[in-house]
Amino acid sequence: MAHVGLIVNPSAGRDIRRLTGGASIVDNYAKRRVAECVLHGLTLVDETPSVAVMPDRVDIATHAVEAAPPEMDVELVEMPIHETAADTRRAAERFRETADAVVVLGGDGTTRDAALEVGDVPLLSVSTGTNNVVPTPVDGTVAGAAAAVIADGMVDADTATYRHGRIDVHADDVSGEKSLTGLAAIGITDRPFVGTRAVIDPSELLGGVVSRAHPAEIGLTSAAGCIEPLAPDAPGGIALTLGAPEETPRSVRAILAPGMTDTVGIAEYDTLDWGETATFQVTDGVVGADGERELELTDATVSMTLSADGPRLVDVDATLRAAPDDGMMLRHGAAATE
């Protein structure tokens, strides 16, 4: 029997950007309903996968398990709950050894946390967070159905999944060496403290590296995409240095945060291949990954290196399109055999 892991981050979609910008609110009830839909979507295949769900302190997982289809073998993962990103990473680490596919409900930060630990297991990220560049805006039932098809081996995983890029960061400042990993974007801000963690004011952005780019995305990926789009599964990435529009050779009008558009100057724009490194000097600022501030730095040299060894993400459309193409969704009734 196939096995699917489900991670629901209760903190995703609840940060200060709901007050300072136009980010939508995804409350716990909505997350519970999406999780329930994922479980029902998993029944699409003939042999419903067994499911393990990461627990939480607000009982999103408990309610979802109680509402699961009666034929489903579903349970909560036995693990301590700290209400931090460590919960997601701990659950993903367990799923790396046991799951055939993992569904994550959250934003870019949650997806990154899961991706760092899930290894080569196909990952399907459903958008319920603030920064939603990597997660898919898809109905939970559809996501569950795609995860079931992948976990059950109904389609070729090489056809229905793609390898997302990764950005590895090494920083050396007055307090020593620090490291960080991101998926879609690593950005540098001139605010000298982590604070709320969320990148709120677009004018704070100084630059960084992205592994994908499109005008319809958010943050640095949008700014880069306004010059030249880069598909999530395309090789390499882009290094950007931003500046005041009146002082740079070109500028773009981009979506830099939920509910916020702005004109930013592009001082430098360089394409990078896998393994190439972009280096930045940070006098007093913060390096963030996928929309969240992470490293406070002073007088630092920051190296950002693109890697092809990112998570294996499920392409929902390709997955569900391949299944009927191979005749795997077709069932014949008694009349067809007469």
From the list 257, 182, 217, the residue with the least C-alpha distance to 225 is: 217
From the list 250, 245, 307, 297, the residue with the least C-alpha distance to 275 is: 307
Which pTM was predicted? 0.90
69 and 40 together in one domain: yes
68 and 124 together in one domain: yes
Q: What is the pLDDT of residue 200?
A: 52
155 and 212 together in one domain: no
Q: What is the pLDDT of residue 131?
A: 59
Place of tokens 């939970």: 140
Q: Give the total number of structural domains in the chain.
A: 2
Which of the 8 DSSP states describes residue 182? E
Higher pLDDT, 21 or 140: 140
pLDDT tens for each residue of 220-237: 999 999 999 999 999 999
263 and 193 together in one domain: yes
Residue 323 token pair:
């299944």
pLDDT tens for each residue of 144-165: 999 999 999 999 888 899 999 9
Q: What is the pLDDT of residue 296?
A: 92
pLDDT tens for each residue of 169-219: 999 999 999 999 999 999 999 876 654 455 556 667 899 999 999 999 988
**pLDDT band of 326, cuts 50, 70, 90:** low
Q: Give the span between the Cα atoms of 147 and 323, in whole angstroms.
A: 12
pLDDT at 21 over 60: no
Q: Give the span between the Cα atoms of 314 and 7, in whole angstroms.
A: 15
149 and 171 together in one domain: no
From the list 129, 107, 132, the residue with the least C-alpha distance to 218 is: 132
69 and 121 together in one domain: yes
Looking up residue 219, the CATH number of its domain turns out to be 2.60.200
Kindly tell me the burial class for residue 276, based on how many C-beta atoms sit within 10 Å of its own C-beta (0-12, 13-18, 19 or more): middle
Q: Give the span between the Cα atoms of 252 and 224, in whole angstroms.
A: 9
pLDDT tens for each residue of 253-310: 999 888 888 999 999 999 999 999 999 999 999 999 998 889 999 999 999 999 999 9
Mean pLDDT of 22-41: 87
133 and 231 together in one domain: no
**Ordered DSSP codes for 143-177:** HHHHHHHHHTT-S-HHHHEEEPPEEEEEEEETTEE
Q: Give the span between the Cα atoms of 15 and 129, in whole angstroms.
A: 9
Side by side, the strands of the sheet bearing 3-8 are 74-76, 50-53, 3-8, 101-106, 123-127, 312-314, 161-163
Q: Are 7 and 102 in contact (CB under 8 A)?
A: yes
230 and 81 together in one domain: no
Q: Give the span between the Cα atoms of 324 and 148, in whole angstroms.
A: 14
Q: Are 2 and 50 in contact (CB under 8 A)?
A: yes
29 and 108 together in one domain: yes
Amino acid 258 reads P
Element (H, E) at 69: none
Q: What is the pLDDT of residue 331?
A: 64
Q: Give the span between the Cα atoms of 235 and 275, in whole angstroms.
A: 10
Q: Give the span between the Cα atoms of 260 and 87, in whole angstroms.
A: 31
Q: What is the pLDDT of residue 19?
A: 41
- The whole-chain average pLDDT of the chain stands at 89
215 and 329 together in one domain: no
36 and 11 together in one domain: yes
Judging by DSSP bridges, how do beta strands 292-307 and 176-182 pair with one another? Answer: unpaired
Parent domain of 94: 3-163+311-337
Element (H, E) at 2: none
pLDDT at 65 over 50: yes
Helix axes 140-151, 316-325, angle to 10 degrees: 60
